[in-house]
Amino acid sequence: MSYKYHMPTKVFSGKNCIINNSELLAAFGRKAMIVSGRSSAKNNGSQDDVIKALQKENLSYVIFDKVMSNPTIAVSYEGAAFAKEHDVDFIIAIGGGSPLDAAKAMALMVRQDIKQENLFNGKYGSDVLPVIAIPTTAGTGSEVTQYAILTNDAVESKTSIATELIFPKIAFLDATYTKELPVETTINTSIDALSHAVEGMMTVRSSVVSDALAKESIRLFVKCVPAMKAALGKTTGSEVNQSIRENLARCSMLAGMVIAQTGTTIVHGMGYSLTYFKDIDHGRANGLLLAEYLRLVEKEAPDLTGKILAAMSLTTVDDFKTLLETLLGEKEDINKEEIRKFSGKAAKAPNINNCRVRPTEENIKDIYTASF
């Protein structure tokens, strides 16, 4: 069976990996733009570490800290304009998937004059600013993917810029920065990672390489489940200890490597409406839908769900659903009109072509209904 593999990002993982490899930064130029959200990079120590590393190498920097959750196209253009104004040589993106994805979009926009209507058409020149990615959640895997996923009001959903140009040049993974993540965020992001690994295995593009990475990612997730269950109902992140944090960071990075090869499935396509219209966190949205898509897949490809369940050390899709429901807690309400609307949109999502078991619009409705 034919497949492709490509993931050129250099990954450095471990405590103090930024400062320990600061000499690598100087290779990208003299002036950096740090891209982050409003506060987390300042609070979790990551921004300080980046600044120390830049200072050690006598590099200058500017800070663009305006990226919101589910980042907009507008904030990406704004960051790109800021980068041009300050004539920066490279970008250091710190945060969850939102700052990382927005920064990857900015990297393209700084060096190429791309009109908004052409932003997602996949046709780009070859120039781009280098991006260094520092994840401070363990979920999106954006540090090792070629995707920048932006909220796109024109289609009332999220849309991907997908080009190998925006693979980060370097990813620094220091799980220390995730130490104080609230339990709810820890769980939601970990489920995003799980969803990437599981969905990757269910795509038409899965391969021996992506499956090896996915199965390991899934096993790491499962290892962390007892600690996450024990932390349920508590709020402070310190309920989840450092070795669990490190395993979640690995789980997320491996799952990012998976979707860099495979893309995602209808689960992501369906989840985008839950986030866009109902403001449900992205990872949580995937987690709410994943088991019922797995149930559909099981009907046509039981070998495939068998492999996934085996990696989870589970026997049935019901076990899988119960596990996720325990972590996700009380569900949101969804009404028939929403299901109708979201299903119509999901049935047109590009991810549908990527599914080994391709759902009909009716299947999609059933998944939404059974998931809530």
Binding mask 249-268 for a second copy (x = CB under 8 A): -x--xx--x-----------
Q: Which stretch binds a second copy (CB under 8 A): 1-9, 71-79, 93-101, 198-206?
A: 1-9
| Sequential DSSP letters for 163-232 | -GGGS-SEEEE-GGGGTT--HHHHHHHHHHHHHHHHHHHTBTT--HHHHHHHHHHHHHHHHHHHHHHHHT
Name the residue nearer to a second copy (CB basis): 15 or 348.
15
Name the residue nearer to a second copy (CB basis): 172 or 342.
172
**In 3D, which of 349, 215, 214 has the Cα closest to residue 276?**
349
CB burial of 80-103 (b: ≥16 within 10 Å; e: otherwise) equals: bebbeeeebebbbbbbbbbbbbbb
Residues in the chain: 372
Judged by CB under 8 A, which of 199, 211, 292, 298 binds a second copy?
211
Distances (CA, A) of 26 to 60, 114, 174, 286, 290: 10, 28, 20, 39, 43
Name the residue nearer to a second copy (CB basis): 104 or 365.
104
CB of 163 to a second copy, least distance (A): 14
Judged by CB under 8 A, which of 13, 69, 112, 163 binds a second copy?
13
Name the residue nearer to a second copy (CB basis): 219 or 341.
219
Count of beta carbons in the 10 Å neighbourhood of residue 8? 11
Number of residues that bind a second copy (CB under 8 A): 30
CB of 23 to a second copy, least distance (A): 14
CB of 219 to a second copy, least distance (A): 9
Name the residue nearer to a second copy (CB basis): 100 or 291.
100
Q: Does 204 bind a second copy (CB under 8 A)?
A: no
**Which two tokens mark 145?**
């993917």
Distances (CA, A) of 242 to 174, 205, 226: 11, 34, 14
Contacts with a second copy by CB under 8 A lie at 1-15, 17, 207-209, 211-213, 215-216, 220, 246, 250, 253-254, 257
